[in-house]
Amino acid sequence: MRRSGQDQTNPAARPVLNRILDSDLTHSFLRSKVTVAAATGTLLFFLAALLAPLIAPHDPFDLAGLSIMDARIPPVWMEYGEPRFLLGTDDQGRDLLSGILYGLRISLIVGACSVFAAAAIGIFLGLIAGYAGGKTDALIMRIADVQLTFPAILIALLVDGAVRGIFGNLDREVFSFWILIFSLALSFWVQYARTVRSSTLVEKNKEYVQAARVTGIPSIIIMVRHILPNVLGPVLVIATINLALAIVTEATLSFLGVGMPSTQPSLGTLISIGNDFLYSGEWWIAIFPGIALALLVLNVNLLGDWLRDALNPKLR
């Protein structure tokens, strides 16, 4: 957020930190209590995911530490609950709290990687479409239009099925992760491409691009070094909002049984496992991971909404 003239005339005079603290963005952030809470919540979730191996009371992947005798123990405050397992255990005797912490880690990694991959595809195609124009532009944008008529979840399901069809019986434990990221990236690239294309169309007629072109710099370098940095702003907003969407979509795919396998459970896989025990009264196996997922998505959504409004000059 650039401020008015006086800052720009003498930018070096003020320390960077002060300028950040005094920016419109910081003010708008601190004014909204909900946003501060959402940011804190998101940060806590990220920290919990990052530090899962350190703070989790048990290691859910350590098969030697599991005992079938510990299976389906209710949370500690219920009858038959044990203090060893704060939120109870699942059907294989894994501690649910540790499972959620590690699941959070997997959900966030898949979410972040797929957002990154989708943004990369979208930025690449958007830049080319906007800069080249003509038939290339028309082709890329028609593909984008066709894809936009379908919800992302359908595309992710189709891609997932097709990839597994092409590669036959791949080792699911190894490849589920990559297939997931690939299908999620293919489902979400359109928004980035459209945004980047429209800002590229504006940028490419500005003087600095024309100057670069006159001096004979190759198109590819103009695109990457000159235009790209100027079109990245809106991409950041879309990425934040899409992170929540990607996490939900990943959880949904895992819940439907085409996402992460039960040996590397994401939050969606945990809910899917727990769903089988809902009817026999072991509600905690599905409900606690679900609450964690919902809180995570709610926090990221709130943060994304604020970022969108704060960076949108129309709403000021």
Partner 1 sequence: MLGFALRRLVQALIVMLAVALIAFSMFRFVGDPVNQMVGLETSIESREALRESLGLNDPLPVQFARFIGNAVQFDFGTSYQFRQPVADLFAKRIPATLELSFTSALFALIAGIPMGIYAGLNRESWLSKLFLSVSLIGISLPTFFIGILLIFLFSVTLQWLPSFGRGDVVEIGSWWTTGFLTVSGLKALILPSITLGLYQMTLIMRLIRAEMLEVIRTDYIKFARARGLSNRVIYLRHALKNTLIPVITITGLQLGSIIAFATITETVFQWPGMGLLFLQAVQNVDIPVMAAYLILTAFLFVSINFIVDILYFLIDPRLRVKQA
Task: List the interface residues with partner 1, window 208-237 (CB under 8 A).
Answer: none
Among 5, 83, 281, 313, binds partner 1 (CB under 8 A): 281
Window 89-128: contact mask with partner 1 (x via CB under 8 A): ----------------------------------------
Residue among 31 and 142 whose Cβ is closer to partner 1: 142
Task: Check binding of 293 to partner 1 (CB under 8 A).
Answer: yes
Please state, as a whole number, how many other Cβ atoms lie within 10 Å of the Cβ of residue 245.
23
Half-sphere exposure of 144 (CA within 13 A, CB side): 23
Q: How far is the CB of 214 from partner 1 (least distance, A)?
A: 39
State how far the Cα of 34 lies from the Cα of 128, in Å rounded to an integer: 39
Instruction: Tell me which residues in 238-277 interact with partner 1 (CB under 8 A).
Output: 244, 248, 251-252, 255-258, 271, 275
CB 204 within 8 A of CB 227: yes
* Binds partner 1 (CB under 8 A): choice among 160, 181, 266, 303: 160
Is residue 259 within 8 Å of 268, Cβ to Cβ? yes
| From candidates 5, 165, 216, 313, binder to partner 1 by CB under 8 A | 165
Q: Which is nearer to partner 1, 2 or 135 (CB)?
A: 135
Cβ(131)–Cβ(181) below 8 Å:
no
Interaction between residue 168 and partner 1 (CB under 8 A):
yes
Measured CA distances, 28 to 286, 300, 306 (Å): 38, 17, 9
Residue 112 or 298 having the CB closest to partner 1:
298
Give residues with Cβ within 8 angstroms of 160, minimum separation 6. 179, 180, 183, 253, 258
Using CB under 8 A, which residues numbered 131 to 150 contact partner 1?
Answer: 142-143, 145-146, 149-150
Region at 93 (left for phi over 0; alpha for psi -120 to 50; beta for the rest):
left
E strand or H helix that includes residue 43: helix 33-50
Binding residues for partner 1 (CB under 8 A): 142-143, 145-146, 149-151, 153-154, 157-158, 160-162, 164-166, 168, 244, 248, 251-252, 255-258, 271, 275, 278-279, 281, 283, 286-287, 290, 293-294, 297-298, 301-302
